[in-house]
Chains A and B, each alone.
Chain A
């Protein structure tokens, strides 16, 4: 299993990766990107099974990243892990093709609950 973690905060990329290893996904290969633009490059080069992305990032935001990714035809499992909450954000994320959106702060249990149905479907 290969996971692409996209976040401009190195600390948060570490936390997401560590929390992911505590879920049923277990050990996986983690690829990192610092914004959506780099995320698109890594997506093409690394072909991850799951993308976990922040929303609020410089250069290319998470929602722009998701929209470009879906426009390109990618059906990769895509989840937001973001402190951006609220129904408007949630609706935009889901309408744009996100599989789930998790609010920071989050736990391994939350991440696992969101990931399992996506993995079961794929």
Chain B
């Protein structure tokens, strides 16, 4: 089962707008410039739905998300709290993608890292959503193997 962009956009919208009461504005423009220091969170799904969901946000966006989740000013946030917040975003996205299937699928724990460039995968993403959350850029990519191949985990 493959996930289309419209479905992913609905999931992203519900996470940010319903639960975090942050705006989510979808855009066709590339929101992250190459070389931008970013927090990258990924999660693997295996089974009926197979793939990896990756969230990439610049540090400013990560701080905004964490500040909203913790109801805390940016200067009070610890790095682990910022990573935790972005990890929870990818966890919710992955969980909702997994929930699209009727059959049995497993969800990994989220994996979060910091990098100065985008995540490198052996294949191009199946889809990408570029979003402005609370006016700040975020990129969500998902990778699903072509039938007969398998995805690597984080």
Interface residues of A (CB under 8 A from B): 8-12, 14-15, 18, 56-58, 82-88, 103-107
Contact = CB atoms under 8 A, between A and B. Distances in A.
Contact of B84 (A11, A57, A83, A103): A11
B30 to A, nearest CB: 26
A82 B18 CA distance: 15
Contact of B69 (A14, A82, A87, A103): A14
A104 B84 CA distance: 16
B98 interface: yes
Interface of B: 14-15, 18-20, 66, 69-71, 81, 84-85, 87-88, 91-96, 98-99, 101-102, 104-105, 107, 109
Given A86-B101, A105-B14, A12 B95 contact: no
Contacts of B85: 11
B96 A11 contact: no
B12 to A, nearest CB: 10
B102 A87 contact: yes
A8 B66 CA distance: 15
Q: Which 7 A-B pairs have the closest CB atoms?
A: A83-B95, A85-B99, A105-B19, A11-B69, A11-B85, A83-B92, A9-B88
A107 B18 contact: yes
Nearest to A106: B19
B109 A56 contact: yes
A9 B87 contact: yes
Nearest to A110: B18
A105 B69 CA distance: 12
A105 to B, nearest CB: 3
